[in-house]
Amino acid sequence: MDQIDNWSELANSYLSKLIDFLPSLFAAILILVLGLWIIKIILRYTRKIFQKKDYDKTLENFIITLINWTLKILLFIVFIGKLGVQTTSLIAVVGAAGLAIGLALQGSLSNFAGGVLIIILKPFKIGDWIEAGDVSGTVKETSLFYTYLITFGNQLAIIPNGDLTNNEIINYTVEGKRKDSITIGISYDSNIKQAKDILLNLMREQEGIMEDPEPQVVVAELADSSVNLSLRFWALNENFWGCHWFTIEEAKSRLEAAGIGIPFPQRDVHFFNHSKDAKEINEITGK
Q: What is the mean pLDDT of the chain?
A: 81
Query: Picking from 68-72, 82-86, 113-117, 205-209, which range would have the lowest pLDDT averaged per residue?
Result: 82-86
CB distance 127 to 118 below 8 Å: no
Quickly count: other Cβ atoms within 10 Å of residue 204's Cβ: 12
pLDDT at 278 over 80: no
Residue 112 CA to residue 96 CA, distance in Å, equals 21
CATH number at residue 33: 1.10.287.1260
pLDDT interval class at 48 (50, 70, 90)? confident
Tell me: pLDDT of 32 over 80.
yes
Domain that holds residue 17: 2-104
Asked whether residue 83 is domain-assigned, the answer is yes
In this structure, the answer to whether residues 22 and 83 fall within a common structural domain is yes
Per-residue pLDDT, 120: 80
CATH number at residue 164: 2.30.30.60
φ, ψ dihedrals at 232, nearest 5°: -125, 125
Looking at per-residue pLDDT, the higher value among 88 and 212 belongs to 212
What are the distances in angstroms from CA 105 to CA 41, 99, 108, 166, 168? 31, 10, 5, 18, 24
- Give the pLDDT band of residue 5 (cuts 50, 70, 90): low
Distance CA 241, CA 219 (A): 23
Displacement of CA 236 from its chain's centroid (Å): 23
> What's the predicted TM-score (pTM) here?
0.59
Q: Is a pLDDT exceeding 70 seen at residue 21? A: no
* Banded model confidence at residue 245, pLDDT cuts 50, 70, 90: very high
User: 122 falls in which pLDDT band (50, 70, 90)?
Assistant: confident
CATH number (domain holding residue 239):
3.30.70.100
Total of domains in the chain = 3
Q: Is the pLDDT of residue 181 over 90?
A: yes
Residues with Cβ within 8 Å of 59's Cβ and at least 6 positions away in sequence, in order, are 50, 115, 116, 119, 144
CA dist 85 and 60 (Å) reads: 35
> In angstroms, rounded to a whole number, what is the distance separating the alpha carbons of residues 59 and 143?
9
**Residue 269: predicted pLDDT:** 60
